[in-house]
Amino acid sequence: PPAKGDPAAKGPEGAAVTLVEFSDFQCPWCSRIAPTIDEVRATYGDAVRIEFRHFPLDQIHPQARKASEVAYCAQQQGKFWEMHDDLFAHQKALDLEQIKERAGGLGLGLAELESCLDSGRAAEAVAADVEAGLEAGVSATPSLFVNGRPVRLTGGTPPIQQLSAVIDDELARQGKS
């Protein structure tokens, strides 16, 4: 997928492998895949860069877009991953007021959060991620790409094994396994 904007990321920009996740904070499967993404980071360290892209499915998840905007604003305060984990941990409490109540506990400045949300920058950033996802063929969440290759997770095999196989293949292609 095209790298537009400044995604929330873990790992160096020059990593051998970039795992891009298009996700929706109200999506139960996205919540379930989050620990697998953490496991990838723990397993591969700086060989893998993980980028989070917002892809709220508005028709079925009416609170997801605003949650993504809040996460973007949290990123501006250096607290994206804290907010990411909070939103997935509280998927049944994604009303903006509920999120704001928890934001202070994550160390976020509420005035800055409000200002960011009101500025429209967050809405633009989320819309840009959605556009990038659509261009990449994303139609569901979570959608994962390893160095631009779509990864289709299937049932039966743990997701970490499926992702590791693709990452290992990518590292081997580059002679870095």
Mind listing the pLDDT tens digit for each residue in 94-140?
999 999 999 999 999 999 999 999 999 999 999 999 999 999 999 99
The closest of 123, 69, 59, 58 to 100, measured between CA atoms, is: 69
- Give domain status of residue 94, yes or no: yes
Tell me how far CA of residue 124 lies from CA of 22, 35, 65, in angstroms.
Answer: 16, 28, 11
Structural domains counted in the chain = 1
- Give domain status of residue 71, yes or no: yes
- Give domain status of residue 125, yes or no: yes
The range of the structural domain enclosing residue 116 comes to 8-173
- Judge if pTM exceeds 0.85: yes
pLDDT at 176 over 80: no
* Backbone phi, psi, residue 127, to 5°: -60, -35
Confidence band of 2 (pLDDT split at 50, 70, 90): very low
- Give domain status of residue 2, yes or no: no
**Mean pLDDT along residues 142-164:** 92
What contacts 123, CB < 8 A, 6 or more positions away?
69
